[in-house]
Chain A
């Protein structure tokens, strides 16, 4: 099934569930039923299932569906849990300290989930616009290769021409640029200002270069572009990994607070009558 069709179908199903559940929830509320206990336990079960996705990713056996299928279920069920959460809380922000903490944690979880979904849906497209696919873990190695090549070119320039323009340019601009990932925040907002400035400086010096240096400068321009693309991939792929540093630890925190919430509810209300 095409992604767009699948997404439309899910949204339609979610809307339908909302339209059906809303009057039923109000109906139960009118009839003084303890619907809040039902929705609470259902929500807890969903959160447990959503949490198990990370466990599933670590398991190589047994083969419980493909990870991509799990991800789809994770996304759709996560969105559905938000609807259930609204029913459970009655759309109101609670007043108790622990409840406020739990409400905030769940909201942050859902928000980070949607943020992650947004990233996974937008970043790959932007990456493909800046070069071919590159494995995140290899980027430092390629960055090192670029740096080595640039240094070779600068040495060549010094040896083969009388000009020290490229060497000075390297010392003033490129050495820092090549020594690590640069313009991380700029790449997150698709800003090429840093590399543009570097290329602009090099082009500005072009008229002072001899023929050999011009050839080398041309290759330098390509390498600056390459390094900038690598940084772009590094920044954006890194963000894809970084948001999970919030989403996954927060899951465990949420589960802890959920257990405390359930204990307190049953201690102080005795559960559904």
Chain B
């Protein structure tokens, strides 16, 4: 027979209070007091269980209620005192209820966790403990202070500890990721590129109108579901957004084996107007021929006859140490064989070495007594180099500005003279003559004073710091040419120093030299022309240092216009105009050496990493693609009569055939992801 577990009866059931903090200590033995302890854990029965003897006639009786256990067995003493033993007076020791124990455990656990965290966060090696993970392999090499992790290199203030971390939150004026970004840029971008590093594709020029974006916009590809979705959730196209931070794409603290550069094809296409499925499905054909990639301009098509005579790709190209690029061999090993032998060699024309005019005294007549070789000075204009050097003279600069004023003389000296006559400002001619004489004197001065004067002049003229190596090189070249300048001065302005000292001198008193100083027509490249009263320079050989130095100096001064003052603006303007004129003079160099940045790349080994800014290519794994003849024509197809003339092919090759690539770079075969051929950053960090 099954006995009910609990008889539910009104009289038998006492009210349980499991939610109270205290319960009777005897409850675990199944014999709890009926009232139980009070809210402070005191046994209420103990307080009331002492019987309260009441005198009934001549006897004392216990009147304790049934709830409290009824009348005590022993009853009161004859004197009316409670005779219950002490154990019955204190029937239980209240204990905490289950709920109260749980609450205590919860609070204890919380306090313990808080203590553990505080100890953790305030310990000396707290940075190690709070690090979200190991750095990538490349960044692990960054060393921090001795004995400390290198967190503060990116997270400034991290080493100061927990208190500082709280203030880092409170004092943040910009998002921390932007601050961290500055640390990234310090290593990965040059100072000049930092301003554009966080632009889309890290370039200042990319916009919706740029060729790359335009080309992508012309694509008509199918749009995947994920791209449609990301378009919807990502309301603003990337180009319209504010600058992105490095951590937007590069996740650090993912461990040494994590590739921080990883980016999915879908992510690449999020920002572009039109998307396509993959390189093999929708990627546009290569409609543009590779432009300059080595810095050397070379039209392979024009050299086709030489290929027919046995010249092959390896004659001029050789893989670099990494096999990544097919570097161009030095001039001496590749071009010189034909181009230094003169035009009489039917294999190739010699490099043209046109003289570049340096100094020429302009034809000027003066009504006043001005020391000037009127009969010998027959130049029509100032040479560009001379103009640039005169621009370093603050007094001459306004005159040059007038001469080159587009609304005035526009660079024509005779026109300027007419204007001076009309405006009755003939004294400016004398000022110009004085400036030229100062220049000649400085150039001919081989003393330390002359050296210092030339430094000031060049620093002013090119707006560059005197310590710049290009300026130092040009100074050295001018010093080396000092003897030519001295002869020039001696021939045309022999009394120049007296004139500059303030003595009254007359050109008619100039003594003709007993020997013809022009006898040597080729003085280390210097060429003098007594009829023209000019000095010019002709390159001595390939890689001529005088011309190279001038080209590098001009390249350096490009974009260096410090337009803080009016004079600086004038100099910048003069430089721009002279650069245009000098381009013709330097053509013998720039015909093959093309400058894509500040200075012309002289060596083909200074090959740019990427061909188009966003494209990269490694030749080594593609060597197996060489066709049977062992040359490179599998990919590099020379232009021919049937080539599309609307496409510029500066190197003489047709655009690459996409099918050649996609035949291998396909799903299940070679890598066909975007990043395999493209790089996000225009300038490689």
Contacts and interface: CB of A to CB of B under 8 A. Distances in A.
A233 B27 contact: no
B109 A27 contact: no
A249 B32 CA distance: 29
A96 B133 contact: yes
A223 B5 CA distance: 10
Contacts of A269: 176-177, 180, 247
B138 interface: no
Nearest to B241: A32
B29 interface: yes
B30 A143 contact: yes
Interface string B225-248: 111011011100000000011011
A97 B109 contact: no
B266 A138 contact: no
A176 interface: no
A224 B172 CA distance: 72
A65 interface: no
A85 to B, nearest CB: 17
B30 A256 contact: no
Interface stretch (A1-9, A189-197, A257-265): A257-265
Contacts of B31: 141, 144
A253 interface: yes
A125 interface: no
Contact of B5 (A98, A230, A241): A230
Given A252-B106, A263-B165, A135 B16 contact: yes
A24 interface: yes
- List of 3 A-B pairs having minimum Cβ-Cβ separation, nearest first: A144-B30, A270-B176, A95-B133
Given A99-B132, A225-B2, A267-B168, 5 more contacts: A95-B255, A97-B130, A98-B120, A249-B110, A256-B113
B577 interface: no
B254 interface: yes
B187 interface: no
Nearest to B105: A249
A140 B30 contact: yes
A273 B175 contact: yes
B219 interface: no
A66 B267 CA distance: 48
B333 interface: no
Interface string A12-24: 0000000000011
A131 B6 CA distance: 9
B106 A264 contact: no
Interface in A80-138: 94-99, 131-138
A152 B53 CA distance: 34
B166 A253 contact: no
B248 A32 contact: yes
A33 interface: yes
B130 A138 contact: no
B233 A245 contact: no
A198 interface: no
Interface in B95-124: 98, 101-102, 105-110, 112-114, 117, 120-121
B253 A95 contact: yes
B317 interface: no
A253 B110 contact: yes
Interface of B: 1-6, 16, 18, 23, 27-32, 98, 101-102, 105-110, 112-114, 117, 120-121, 128-134, 155, 158, 165-166, 168-169, 172, 174-180, 225-227, 229-230, 232-234, 244-245, 247-249, 253-255, 264, 266-267, 270
Interface string A228-242: 011001000000010
B102 to A, nearest CB: 6
8 contacts: A30-B264, A94-B132, A99-B132, A138-B16, A140-B29, A249-B105, A268-B176, A269-B176
Interface in A19-63: 23-24, 26-28, 30-33
Given A260-B121, A270-B172, A30 B102 contact: no
A133 B229 CA distance: 56
B134 to A, nearest CB: 6
B27 A96 contact: no
B169 A273 contact: no
Contacts of A95: 132-134, 253-255
Given A134-B6, A250-B109, A32 B253 contact: no
Given A225-B2, A273-B177, A273-B178, A267 B233 contact: no
B110 A244 contact: no
Contacts of A268: 130, 155, 158, 165, 168, 176
Contact of B16 (A137, A142, A223, A225): A137
A245 B113 contact: no
Nearest to A218: B1
Interface string A126-168: 0000011111111011111101000000000000000000000
A13 to B, nearest CB: 21
B424 to A, nearest CB: 66
Residue of B6, B129, B177 with highest tally of chain A CB at under 10 A = B6
A2 to B, nearest CB: 29
B1 A222 contact: yes
B131 A97 contact: yes
Find the residue from A23, A30, A266 having the highest chain B CB count within 10 A.
Answer: A30
Contact of A24 (B98, B129, B233, B253): B233
B29 A144 contact: yes
Contacts of B1: 222
Contact of A32 (B109, B174, B267): B267
B378 to A, nearest CB: 68
B106 to A, nearest CB: 4
B156 to A, nearest CB: 11
Given A27-B232, A27-B234, A273-B177, A96 B102 contact: no
A23 to B, nearest CB: 5
Given A27-B230, A256-B110, A141 B133 contact: no
A24 B16 contact: no
A263 B16 CA distance: 45
Contacts of A257: 113, 117
Nearest to B169: A266
Contact of A27 (B98, B110, B158, B229): B229
Nearest to B128: A97
Contacts of B129: 97-98
A225 B5 CA distance: 10
A226 B5 contact: yes
A131 B117 contact: no
Nearest to B229: A27
A147 B31 CA distance: 12
Nearest to A34: B248
B113 A27 contact: no
A133 B13 CA distance: 14
Contacts of A209: none
Contacts of B114: 256
Contacts of B234: 27-28, 30-33
Nearest to A273: B175
A27 B232 CA distance: 8
A160 to B, nearest CB: 21
Contacts of B264: 30
B31 to A, nearest CB: 6
B2 A264 contact: no
Contacts of B233: 24, 27-28, 31, 33
